[in-house]
Amino acid sequence: MKLPRRKFLHLAAGSAALPAISLIARAQTYPTRAVTLIVFVSAGGTPDIIARLIGQSLSQRLGQSVVIDNRPGGGGNLALQAVARAPADGYTLLLVATPHAVNATLYEKSPFTVTRDIVPVASINNDSFALLVNPSFPAKTVPEFITHAKANPGKINLASNGTGNLTHLSGELFRMMTGIEVVHVPYRGTPAAGLMAGDVHAMFDAIGSAVPHIQSGALRALGVTGTARVRVLPDIPLIGDAVPGYAVTGWLGIGVPKGTPPEIVERLNREVNAALADPPVRARMADLGSDPLPGSAVDFAKLIADETEKWGKVIRSANIKPD
């Protein structure tokens, strides 16, 4: 799949191209009614919590209600399609996430993609994942895990939240970069329960979900996937220390339908970045093991393009197909 990278980045860059006076004048008339933020997961999960946190702050800054509309399904595709079909007037926003970049390759025949049909507005945050094992597992470090896996090819089960999920792709990238042979076990439910019960040997999980199990001693964290240690798990080393170049982060942001006026994109970007600078917002994100990720619309476009390319290579190399 050839990604429209240049066109995508050019589209985002155009949001800053209008004269400043025009931007200010047109942005001042927006919004005049409630704004809807469509979220790709059910209520209650970390992405939903962050969406509501940002939505509340945006509501205060925009002077209009921001309504959260949960549209789970299709690995994020249902939410994306709903926004792509909406009027390009700034009143329907998408909580863009890593799965949307993954889906550009995983669902090659999808009528809508994040790179073609969504204009990036602003990134919100990024999160690391942790490589977790049952406390009875013999390896206590990432190098020990790799050594054990190489000594037992095909005998270690690596669970995930489902085929194509970032918990799966984190493991695939780890497998590719270390040369180990493991068996992927996709779960419909919660793989952490299976790991704690000893049904599987290991899994990658989001920090926000993993921390309670790590702190209680129910699971052991061998390493984290990001490029910096996680504040809530300061003693857990980076996987990249043992596997140079390995890095995985999940991220969230805001997008709007293609054709949305650039001045509205600029206004929303400004308000999202202001929200991310708010100490209570930052504190709540820290509680979730998440780091604020402020930046321009162009910065966010580059992140999406880079992640789409990165995960596209993993998906094609591992010949991953959606369930």
| pLDDT(8) > 90 | no
Helical axes 98-106 vs 166-178, angle rounded to 10°? 70
| pLDDT(25) > 80 | no
- pTM over 0.85, yes/no: yes
Q: Where are the beta strands (DSSP E) in 9-148?
A: 35-39, 66-70, 92-97, 118-133
CA dist list (Å): 22 to 12, 62, 153: 18, 19, 62
Q: Give the fold, CATH level 3, of 129-242.
A: D-Maltodextrin-Binding Protein; domain 2 (3.40.190)
Residues 6+ apart with CB under 8 A from 189: none
| SS3 category, 115 | helix
Q: Name the token pair of 255.
A: 């997008």
23 vs 209: which has the higher pLDDT: 209
> By the 8 A CB rule, do 15 and 297 touch?
yes
CA dist list (Å): 171 to 165, 182, 214: 10, 9, 19
Above pLDDT 70, what percent of the chain?
91
- The mean predicted confidence, pLDDT, of the chain is 92
Which pLDDT score is estimated for 108? Answer: 85
Confidence at 289, pLDDT banded by 50, 70, 90? confident
Confidence at 4, pLDDT banded by 50, 70, 90? low
Confidence at 309, pLDDT banded by 50, 70, 90? very high
Q: Give the fold, CATH level 3, of 5-127+248-318.
A: D-Maltodextrin-Binding Protein; domain 2 (3.40.190)
* C-alpha span between 322 and 267 (Å, rounded): 37
Q: Where are the beta strands (DSSP E) in the chain?
A: 35-39, 66-70, 92-97, 118-133, 157-160, 183-186, 202-206, 220-224, 249-257, 290-292
Residues 6+ apart with CB under 8 A from 193: none
Range 169-180 burial, b when 16+ CB lie within 10 A, else e: bbbbbbbeebeb
| pLDDT(67) > 90 | yes
Segments making up each domain of the chain, as ranges = 5-127+248-318, 129-242
> By the 8 A CB rule, do 141 and 222 touch?
yes
133 vs 290: which has the higher pLDDT: 133
Confidence at 59, pLDDT banded by 50, 70, 90? very high
Q: CA torsion sign, 165 to 51 to 39 to 115?
A: negative
Amino acid of residue 315: I
* C-alpha span between 113 and 307 (Å, rounded): 13
> By the 8 A CB rule, do 212 and 197 touch?
no
Which pLDDT score is estimated for 21? Answer: 46
| Average pLDDT rounded to a whole number, residues 249-257 | 97
Amino acid of residue 178: T
Asked, colleague to colleague, whether 5-127+248-318 and 129-242 share their fold, the answer is yes
**Least confident stretch, 17-21, 237-241, 285-289:** 17-21
β-bridge partners, 70: 39
